[in-house]
Structure 1
Amino acid sequence: MTDSTLTGLLSWVPPLVLLLSLGAALAIFPLREDRVRTRTAVNLGAAVLKVLLVAALVPVVIDASLRPEFSVPFLPGIDLVLRVDPLSVYFAGLSALLWLCTTIYAIGYLEGSPQRSRFFGFFSLCVTATVGISFAGNLVTFLVFYELLTLVTYPLVAHAGTPAALRAARVYLRYTITGGLALLVGVVWLTIYAGPVDFAEGGAEGVPALAAATPGVAVVIFVLLVGGLGVKAALVPLHGWLPGAMVAPAPVSALLHAVAVVKAGVFGIVRVVDDVYGIEVSRSLGVLTPLLVLACVTILFGSVRALQETDLKKRLAYSTVSQVSYVVLGVALATVAGTAGGIVHLVHQGIMKITLFFCAGLFAEVLRAKSIEDLRGLGHRMPWTSVAFTVGAFGMIGLPPTAGFVSKWQLGLGALDSEHPWVLGVLLASSLLNAAYFLPVVYRLWFRAPDAGRSPGAGGSPDDDAVPRALTDRLRVREPRALLLPALFTAGSVVALGLFASFPFSPLDVARYIAEGVFR
């Protein structure tokens, strides 16, 4: 089979993956609540097929260097383009794997809950939008799916229907629509000046000419694009929606932080810097240093705010604010090692953070433990969940041999290679702050006994049955398998990705390949 024939066949894979997720949503919405087996089969079948299809693209794109493309007319002179390139496969692979894990987790978590068909329908639409973002071949296609993601995640944030959930969903919508409008203006403005903007290694055609002729306009457009994307990426001061969204169910929190929304924002920033403006144009315009400083401020701010939170999910939310900006920092360093570090953290942070949210959901679901104090002694009552949480926390701190260590080591190398070696101090300070807000949680899990007269979720008020409750608090409880297995799998992956980082086709290996293409 010739390369052209193979490329033609593979060009149908992105729309097929897109239709797979969309078809799952359309099949799930009309299902009655009691059609549990059918809904589960559709969810898992679509998720497994997506993993297989995306995995099949990896060797073709990396080894054979093929770039299959599918396009349909959209606007005069502008097509909707789905293109397979190393970065698109990288992000699609992350979303495919974590979608499967989150689907298994969500099925167990929502067992017996109302409105499951609505939840899983919008869940699949969310994945549809993420697939479109992953494979978008130009800026307009990216914008269409990026805005779709805003609309279909709103019902997930509001799923519980409580006043707090509805309020958080409205805040989320205000932030993301405002960011979407800024992105829209930037995309339209850039298209007027440079024509249809296709993503390309080293930057899109027409952008260098714009930067040379009217650098002020190019800088303003860059600010609009990154500012619009920075809302979902939770860059300071655009992060305010994220902690409030933690009222959503644990599978939604995992989706927001590790699979879709936050990742879509930071993935878009990588696209703008590397594949729209390009490193050289970005450097000549002087926009990389301010972006680097903003990323550093966000990293430190998120860590400090996480340290102040006593609610577990909110502490994890501020941790996300901090950790996701490592990706922006790596790209803004403008070195091969830094870019590789930022891109690999896209995957590593997603797997580490989804592990922590899976565990937080387990603690809350089984023992109503939601605050940091509620976790006292749960290492003995829920040992496997606590092991998974501990592994995820050590990864976030950056302890070897976890995936987090690999990311931070690579970013450190990038800082030393760059014009900004002071960034190494930011990485060190961030790791110390990570330890300051994660180690006390781990310590409470394993080395603190539950308070007598206080059960998780009880708010610390003693009552008449204090003695029997104190005894009960030391007994091991059943950890639901459907919720536990995804958490153990992702926790195991955190260690495996650290131990086998140098292997072919590992996230680090592919990230280096992508980074080398950016600077080629």
Structure 2
Amino acid sequence: MPTFLKPIAPWLVILFPILTLPLKFFLKRIKKTREILALIVPVITTLFVSSYYSLIVNGEVLTNTVFKMNNILNIYFRVDAASFLFAIVSSTLWIFTIIYSFGYMKEYQNKDRYYSFLILALSVTMGVAFSGNLLTFYMFYELLTLITYPLVIHVQTEEAMDAGKQYLTYSLSGGALILLGIMFVAFLNEGVVLNFIPGGLISKSLLETGRSLEITLLVFLAGFSVKAAVMPLHRWLPAAMVAPTPISALFHAVAVVNSGVFGIIRIVYFVFGPEIVISLWTGKLFLVLILITIVLASIIAFFKDNLKRRLAYSTVSQLGYISLGAFLLNLEGLSGGILHLFNHALIKITLFFCSGVIYIVTHKKKISEMAGIGKKMPWTMGAFAIASLGMVGIPPSVGFNSKWYLMLGSFNQGSLLIMGLLILSAMLNAGYFLPIVVSAFFKEPITDFEEHQGFFEAPVSMLAPTVILAIATIGFGIWYHFPSLVVEVVVQNIF
């Protein structure tokens, strides 16, 4: 990872994408300015974020206050190992999404609006990653909802508008609960600065206050469970599949859902602390909901014939793995949860890219219509097969590493039930992913597919990111030094 750049203030990384938007109006005469600018922005953002790498692996933290009125009302940024991993995954996958959009969005209208909001969403996602206290996190968390709403309704059909209303209703309601939780913490902590602290900012003496902490944790978890898609607060996510596939990929792999699980990690380990959470019944209740989500979402996925819908319920289940890692409340469990944030992002964006290529080339959405498609689209379905193995957790894919740590965390907690449910979930994943691959390569087509001219079955701008990311799911499975080193710093700081 590049170390030749000097780390800059995190607020500049956040502000940079926004400052580039006016350039579009001055460079309109240059052909494909919109696309070039849309690509340059995440590339430079990724370079800025990567400049923190050497600082992070040395266990250092970069903080920056840009506004302070009092202990509660202040805008404060923190670059630590957890925020670095979230930011570098997001900005890097943004590059692939932009390139993929060049081919996918070719026939769509309102591309200026599309790319503008993509750049704005990148800025706000960096804000979520680098927020150093509860108020700053809440501000960017809510902005992410508002900025991504136009992307959800981009096609502006009746179905898209309904999905957008559902997205706003769920997300803003969750945000209101988070704000209520912040008020509770400020009251309980009697005005103490609400900055994120490894191990928790809440004093253990507050355990004597009875049910106050239990209710506060419940309010926070309910709020973050919306974007983390914990059942029964998940319904907005499958509905949002009406958005263009690049947006679905960002929702399910990068920005929105990861902000939810990242928020849960911040609350459990940087606000309450594992020692407090382990003593509260709220954490035990939430653990049960997570386990139900992991299994039930996989069962529902079995019965979805629409490929994007099946991927959506797969996301609901896989996000449960990250939340589970947080609530195992031990070193191995948290390592597995944070690793899975990285691994799931890589695998799921690949699967969504594959579904988008299939739709653009064949206009097929249903799995039942895709028999034999692998013979016509070997690159796409080959990438789908590799990513599917990663989702099941078969080595040497990245999915194996995080699930292995989650199994270790469950074992160390002494829970054979959780270990059994993780194995059941892996079997369910195999049950609803691998038959798609088998059908694609080994069955005769039941529908006619057009013959494709040339070596590639789809535009290179779509196929190249898909294949590269599929290879990366194997590459990082074998060479997992980068994510593991950063995760190690996170858990060492906490435990």
TM-score, with structure 2 as normaliser: 0.95
Distance change (3 Å), C-alpha of 1:90 and 1:478: same
- Higher mean Cα deviation, 435-444 or 310-319? 435-444
1:308-348 CA-to-partner distances (Å, cap 9, x unmatched) read 10000000000000001101101111111111000000000
Q: Are 1:28 and 1:121, in contact at CA under 8 Å, matched by a contact in 2?
A: no
1:493 counterpart = 2:472: yes
Q: 1:16 aligns with which of 12, 23, 27?
A: 12
What stretches of structure 2 of length at least 5 have no aligned partner?
none
Residue of structure 2 equivalent to 1:515: 491
Map of 2:142 onto structure 1: 147
Distance 2:110 2:90 in 1: 24
Residue 109 to residue 81, structure 1, CA distance change in 2 (3 Å): same
Aligned residue in 1 for 2:64: 70
Give the TM-score normalised by the residue count of structure 1. 0.90
Aligned counterpart, 1:161: 156
Note if 1:208 corresponds to 2:208: no
The whole-number CA distance in structure 2 between the counterparts of 1:25 and 1:188 is 35
Instruction: Please tell me whether residue 479 in structure 1 is matched to residue 485 in structure 2.
Output: no
Whichever residue aligns with residue 496 of structure 1, its letter is G
Mapped partners of 1:363, 1:255: distance in 2: 18
> What is the total number of aligned residue pairs between the two structures?
488
Aligned pair partner of 1:359 in 354, 357, 362: 354
Tell me what 1:459 maps to. none
User: Which structure 2 residues correspond to residues 65-464 of structure 1 after superposition, within 5 A?
Assistant: 65-73=59-67, 75-77=69-71, 78-194=73-189, 195=191, 196-204=193-201, 206-210=202-206, 212-451=207-446, 454-455=447-448
- Name the CA distance, whole Å, in 2 between partners of 1:100 and 1:59: 22
Mapped to 2, the partners of 1:477 and 1:290 lie a distance apart of 50
Q: CA 1:176/1:26 → structure 2, altered by over 3 Å: closer, same or farther?
A: farther
Any idea what SS the aligned residue of 1:239 has?
coil
Instruction: Summarize deviations over 1:29-58 as a string: whole Å, max 9, x none.
Output: 8986x8652112211111111111111211
C-alpha deviation, 1:436, in angstroms: 0.6
Query: Any conservation in 2 of the 1:207–1:276 contact (CA below 8 Å)?
Result: no
Which deviates more from structure 2 when the two are superposed, residues 374-383 or residues 131-140?
A: 374-383
Which blocks of at least 5 consecutive residues in structure 1 are unaligned?
Answer: 1-5, 457-468
Residues 35 and 310 of structure 1: CA distance in aligned 2, closer, same or farther (over 3 Å) = farther
Deviation at 1:245, TM superposition (A): 0.6
- Three-state SS of the structure 2 residue aligned to 1:376 is coil
Separation of aligned partners in 1, 2:469 and 2:455: 23
Residues 30, 219 of structure 1: CA spacing in aligned structure 2 closer, same or farther, 3 A cutoff? farther
One-letter code of the match for 2:461? A
| Contact 1:25–1:122, Cα closer than 8 Å, also in 2 | no
Per the TM alignment, residue 13 of structure 1 is displaced from its structure 2 partner at its CA by 3.2
Cα shift readout 1:105-124 (whole Å, capped 9, x = no counterpart): 11221124221110111111
Give a deviation string over 1:377-399, Cα, whole Å, max 9, x none: 11111111111111111100111
Letter in 2 for 1:255: L
Residues 1:393 and 1:79: Cα distance change in structure 2 (over 3 Å): same
* SS state at 2:278 partner: helix
Which residue of structure 2 lines up, in the alignment, with residue 465 of structure 1? none
CA distance in 1, matches of 2:419, 2:24: 48
Cα offset, 1:22, TM superposition: 1.6
Structure 1: distance between partners of 2:21 and 2:177 = 29
Distance verdict in 2 for CA 1:29–1:230, change over 3 Å: farther
> Over aligned residue pairs, what C-alpha RMSD do you find?
2.0
Deviations 1:218-240, CA, capped at 9 Å, x for gaps: 11111111110100000000000
- Return closer, same or farther for 1:219/1:322 CA change in 2, 3 Å cut-off: same
- Paired residue secondary structure (1:72): strand
